[in-house]
């Protein structure tokens, strides 16, 4: 039964392939797209990395909605957790000395790398999401090597860190409206420093989101298997 080819999905997939590839083949073979406008615009706002300029400035809506989606998914995943399981548990049964030392040695380096990626984002490939991913990966490494959430990191603190990125982004997006401009239309004199601060806050939130997504999905697996 598992290996039977299902006709309707197969026809749908082939039809989709035909539609997409014929559309792609139909497009003009050469098109400047928006690269000239973007490169000129990035120079005008003194952000040297064009992709960063597109992400945070020209298509700021995308990034605002992206961080909202991430936040929404985190809230949904956290609320899907099994309520019978405690949250302050070790993920791995035994905290091996070598594993623990590895986590303790590598995580500070990952934090420095995350900071560097935020800083370098305005001139080279990098930025908040990459830095947040590195930060979250560091947290996941710590969790896998037997680290338990410290007692100062209460739920209220975690929720604050999770939401502060979206809240800061909304604040930065709405401020231009109060000054009589449109949404996400940053003023020129403060742009660079505001975007840098915003990226740093976003990095913390994104890292926390990644870690929460992982921990919430990973917790309790072993117990369930033993119980069944």
User: Which residues contribute to the site for another protein (CB under 8 A)?
Assistant: 2, 5-6, 8-10, 12-14, 16-17, 20-21, 24-25, 27-35, 38-39, 50-51, 53-55, 59, 62-63, 66, 69-70, 72-74, 76-77, 80-84, 129, 206, 210, 213-214, 216-217, 220-221, 224, 228
Q: How far is the CB of 87 from another protein (least distance, A)?
A: 14
Instruction: Give Cα 18 distance to the centre of its chain.
Output: 33
Q: How far is the CB of 100 from another protein (least distance, A)?
A: 26
Q: Helix, strand or coil for residue 33?
A: coil
The nearer residue to another protein, 21 or 92, going by C-beta atoms, is 21
Neighbours of 149 (CB within 10 A): 17
Q: Helix, strand or coil for residue 115?
A: helix
The nearer residue to another protein, 76 or 167, going by C-beta atoms, is 76
Q: How far is the CB of 104 from another protein (least distance, A)?
A: 26
Q: Which two tokens stand for residue 216?
A: 């919430």
For residue 6, the 8-state DSSP code is P
Q: How far is the CB of 47 from another protein (least distance, A)?
A: 11
Q: How far is the CB of 9 from another protein (least distance, A)?
A: 3
Q: Which two tokens stand for residue 149?
A: 């959430």
Q: How many angstroms separate the CA atoms of 166 and 3, rounded? A: 45
The nearer residue to another protein, 108 or 221, going by C-beta atoms, is 221
- Do 128 and 206 meet the contact criterion of CB atoms below 8 Å apart? yes
The nearer residue to another protein, 53 or 110, going by C-beta atoms, is 53
Output the CA–CA distances (angstroms, integers) from residue 147 to 49, 96, 171, 213, in the order listed.
37, 11, 34, 17
The nearer residue to another protein, 62 or 104, going by C-beta atoms, is 62
Counting DSSP H helices and E strands in the chain, the numbers are 9, 0
């Amino acid at each position: 039964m598992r290996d039977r080819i299902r006709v309707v999905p197969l026809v749908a997939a082939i039809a989709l392939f035909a539609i997409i590839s014929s559309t792609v083949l139909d497009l003009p073979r050469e098109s400047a797209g928006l690269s000239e406008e973007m490169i000129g615009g990035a120079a005008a706002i003194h952000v040297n990395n064009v992709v960063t300029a597109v992400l945070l400035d020209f298509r700021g809506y995308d990034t605002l909605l992206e961080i909202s989606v991430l936040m929404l998914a985190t809230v949904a995943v956290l609320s899907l957790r099994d309520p019978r399981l405690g949250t302050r548990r070790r993920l791995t049964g035994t905290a091996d000395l070598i594993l623990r030392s590895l986590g303790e040695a590598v995580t500070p380096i990952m934090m420095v790398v995350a900071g560097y990626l935020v800083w370098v984002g305005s001139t080279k490939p990098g930025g908040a999401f990459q830095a947040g991913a590195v930060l979250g990966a560091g947290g996941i490494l710590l969790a896998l090597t037997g680290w338990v959430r410290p007692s100062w990191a209460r739920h209220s603190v975690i929720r604050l860190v999770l939401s502060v990125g979206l809240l800061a982004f909304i604040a930065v997006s709405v401020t231009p409206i109060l000054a009589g401009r449109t949404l996400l239309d940053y003023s020129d004199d403060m742009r660079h420093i505001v975007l840098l601060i915003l990226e740093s806050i976003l990095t913390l939130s994104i890292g926390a989101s990644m870690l929460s997504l992982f921990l919430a999905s990973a917790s309790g697996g072993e117990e369930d298997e033993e119980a069944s």
